[in-house]
Amino acid sequence: MTPAIRADRMTRQRRVVLDILAGSQDHLDAETIYALARARDAKISLATVYRALAWLKQRGLVQEQRLGEGHAHFETTPSEPHDHFTCIVCGRVIELEAAQVHELTHQLCTSQGLHVTGLQMLVQGVCGECREQGLGKR
Amino acid sequence: MTPAIRADRMTRQRRVVLDILAGSQDHLDAETIYALARARDAKISLATVYRALAWLKQRGLVQEQRLGEGHAHFETTPSEPHDHFTCIVCGRVIELEAAQVHELTHQLCTSQGLHVTGLQMLVQGVCGECREQGLGKR
DNA sequence: GTCCATGCAAACTGTTTGCACGCGC
DNA sequence: GCGCGTGCAAACAGTTTGCATGGAC
């Protein structure tokens, strides 16, 4: 007995997806990851990218973000938790130091008997650069 | 001249959608709103529901929420801003008093030259009831 | 040979759009 | 009659799934 639970494999495709995410500070969407992955492995399929992302996510290696759009973005799990500010003019995503906010929210939830497992803050607005260019005043 | 900007109309369909949202404390998705709307107006179409939601949203009467799922939820614009806690066991959505957290985030962003126009916190976890039932320990 | 992962294409979900009709002013 | 709003169906984007093939042990 003890058939030994066979650990799932870190295959080439999965590694490519992880590498791409690890090597980018951006928050990539599946389509972009797919395009970058094809540059390294012309035969990889979009379905595999999605399956790899799900697998990596399940193992805690990457995180999925919903930045208010219709599709998801992904990033490698950060050591420091952070939140995201999305500029509604240029689309840039800026990371926010989140410890304080998360701490406060945790307290709030715990005091109501809620056990928090995940936390995501989504801020939209106009970034400094776009404000300077007056684009934010349209 | 001064052709007088003709105000768009609050039509029957738009009112039905708004009424449904105003009469529910839940966070309804488009499909549910559509189902409820058909009960009052059998001929209303899903496209109209979406268009009505977009119109109401643009006028600030309703707000769209992304609760981490692939689809959107809607609620009438609350007088007090709040955030949402989604129980990953029973799916219930609990509203969180958000003023403090929003205040803190505003400060954080402003100090970085970011102009905030929208803010949404998304918390996932296990609610008190589900924890009591031990379902959260699975 | 046995699994698990992959590629492909088709299915599916949520949402948007084009177009002709129709109602209110 | 004009213009905006509607209904319908088709298009669309993002994501998931079924199935046969292929690779690692």
Is any atom of strand D within 7 angstroms of residue A51's beta carbon?
yes
Q: What is the pTM of this model?
A: 0.83
Measured CA to CA, the distance from residue A74 to residue A92 in angstroms comes to 15
Average pLDDT over residues B118-128: 90
Which of A63, A89, A95, A105 is the mutation pick for testing B, counting most B CBs within 10 A? A105
pLDDT of B44 reads: 95
Residues paired with A84 in a beta bridge: A95, A122
Task: Burial-class residue B129 by CB neighbours within 10 Å (0-12, 13-18, 19+).
Answer: middle
Buried b (16+ CB within 10 A) or exposed e, A5-30: eeeeeeeebbebbbebbeeeeebbbb
Q: Considering only CA atoms, which of B33, B120, B28, B123 is closest in space to residue B74?
A: B28
Query: Given this model, what pLDDT does residue A5 score?
Result: 47
Q: What's the rounded mean pLDDT across residues B89-110?
A: 89
Contact list, A63 vs chain B (CB under 8 Å): none
Distance from CA of A83 to the nearest CA of B (A): 10
Residue B76 has pLDDT above 70, yes or no: yes
Copy the structure tokens of residue B1.
């001249």
Instruction: Compute the average pLDDT of residues B72-98.
Output: 88
Nearest CB partner across the interface for B85, out of A68, A85, A109: A109
Calpha distance A102→A2 (Å, rounded): 42
C-alpha span between A93 and B65 (Å, rounded) = 19
Q: What pLDDT does B79 receive?
A: 84
pLDDT digit of tens for each residue in chain A (138 aa)?
434 445 678 999 999 999 999 998 889 999 999 999 999 999 999 999 999 999 999 999 999 998 878 899 999 998 888 899 998 888 888 999 888 899 999 999 999 999 998 898 989 899 998 888 764 444
Beta pairing, strands B93-97 & B82-87: antiparallel
Burial A86-116 (b: 16+ CB within 10 A, else e): bbbbeeebbebebeebbeebbebbeeeebbb
pLDDT tier for residue B80 given thresholds of 50, 70 and 90 = confident
